[in-house]
């Protein structure tokens, strides 16, 4: 076992991205659902709680008409993103991609077709009034044809302390629910990593002190913030008891031990 201090920033964020991010699939979903709603492709994207800005950088690569902003309060992941993602853009693409070390609650001074808050990042808002303020500010920051995309998770396993392990080629990823308070839905999660080659486990590399929001709560707050419609989605099944990675719009779903899905709010 080793301390987090011994894990390099490069390795830390590389393992994180390999474990939890798939910007290509997320971008496909954003474009597809926007096009279904408005009959055209979106061209501007704001990635909130962006961390390394991985998705925003991939967004500008998709089209010469695309522009993106990556917003985060923490300079460390932004620095990693600049060194590992921004540098992969050509000179013209770089003019369409901006990192902002800023609060998502700030007046950022520009509007976009889409805003994404993925990896459950908005769970950091524990009070309803805080989340309503955030959704209201997102609403105001969207173009008239605008959409906010959220992911969320739940299921019976999401409420019981446990550690879920996922093995990758050179390391293992651990998603650790340390605590869930059923009276206020506050929870504490950690991400741990184990390097296979070195046989070293790095504990509590990332810490998440959150409130777990339900779909119904989110829908009601989004509607109060002004969104005219909130679309709910569910993942298809692979026939083996797992998800197939394809999400379809629906208002009904069967209970299961663990699920991850999307909400899309339409301005």
* Predicted confidence band of residue 3 (pLDDT cuts 50, 70, 90): low
* Predicted confidence band of residue 250 (pLDDT cuts 50, 70, 90): confident
CATH 3.40.50.150: does it fit domain 7-154+213-266? yes
Task: Compute the Cα dihedral for 103, 106, 108, 111 and give only its sign.
Answer: positive
Domain with CATH 3.40.50.150 in the chain: 7-154+213-266
pLDDT number for residue 156: 85
Residues 137-173 as b/e (b if ≥16 CB within 10 A, e otherwise) read bbbebbeeebbbbbbbebeeebeeeeeeeeeeeebbb
Task: State pTM to two decimals.
Answer: 0.94
Q: Which helix (H) or strand (E) holds 91?
A: helix 91-94
> Does 1 score more than 60 pLDDT?
no
């Amino acid at each position: 076992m080793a301390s987090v201090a011994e894990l390099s920033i490069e390795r830390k964020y590389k393992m994180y991205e390999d474990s939890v991010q798939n910007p290509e699939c997320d971008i496909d979903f954003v474009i597809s659902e926007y096009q279904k709603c408005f009959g055209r492709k979106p061209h501007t994207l704001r990635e909130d709680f962006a961390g390394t800005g991985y998705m925003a950088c991939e967004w500008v690569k998709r089209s010469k008409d695309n522009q993106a902003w990556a917003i985060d309060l923490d300079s460390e992941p932004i620095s990693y993103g600049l060194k590992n993602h921004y540098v992969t853009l050509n000179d013209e693409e770089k003019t369409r991609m901006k990192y902002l070390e800023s609060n998502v609650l700030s007046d950022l001074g520009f509007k976009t077709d889409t805003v994404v808050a993925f990896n459950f990042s908005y769970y950091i808002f524990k009070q309803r009034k805080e989340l309503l303020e955030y959704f209201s500010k997102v609403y105001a920051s969207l173009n008239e044809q605008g959409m906010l995309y959220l992911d969320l998770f739940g299921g019976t396993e999401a409420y019981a302390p446990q550690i879920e392990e996922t093995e990758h080629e050179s390391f293992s990823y651990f998603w650790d629910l340390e605590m869930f308070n059923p009276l206020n839905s506050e929870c504490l999660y950690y991400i741990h990593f184990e390097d296979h080659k070195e046989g070293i486990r790095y504990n509590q590399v990332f810490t998440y002190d959150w409130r777990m929001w339900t779909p119904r709560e989110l829908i009601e707050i989004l509607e109060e913030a002004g969104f005219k419609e909130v679309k709910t989605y569910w993942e298809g099944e692979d026939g083996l008891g797992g998800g197939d990675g394809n999400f379809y719009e629906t208002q009904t779903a069967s209970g299961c031990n663990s699920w991850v899905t999307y909400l899309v709010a339409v301005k």
